[in-house]
Structure 1
């Protein structure tokens, strides 16, 4: 399932992404350097994937097509 969101902030040195609607995801450790530099209010594409029994997420920064892998908190 694809949806859109707006970035509110990146917390814990890039470990968590908080969306404007209050939802949070924990970023894959290898993707933290990418997420750390994203600015608030950037538009995100959120792709929910069900893999191995957990709901994993791909978050894509629409402005530059950078992606990070994450899980919902």
Structure 2
């Protein structure tokens, strides 16, 4: 996996999960040019992590399969 940290583009097109609470403790995602950009909601001007389509889809499949569940 090749993730790179870059600074966020314009503040448009970002969204967060409908399961997120309004406490500001979540991440936002934005898609563009075959990439998924992820940033911290509490630091919208800070760095973000960018994944290509294959990396993003592998993450989503792992999350759906429970591979990233927090240990008890």
TM-score (norm 1): 0.31
The structure in which a higher percent of residues are helix is 2
Of structures 1 and 2, the larger Rg is shown by 2
Q: Give the strand-richer structure, 1 or 2.
A: 1
TM-score w.r.t. length of structure 2: 0.31
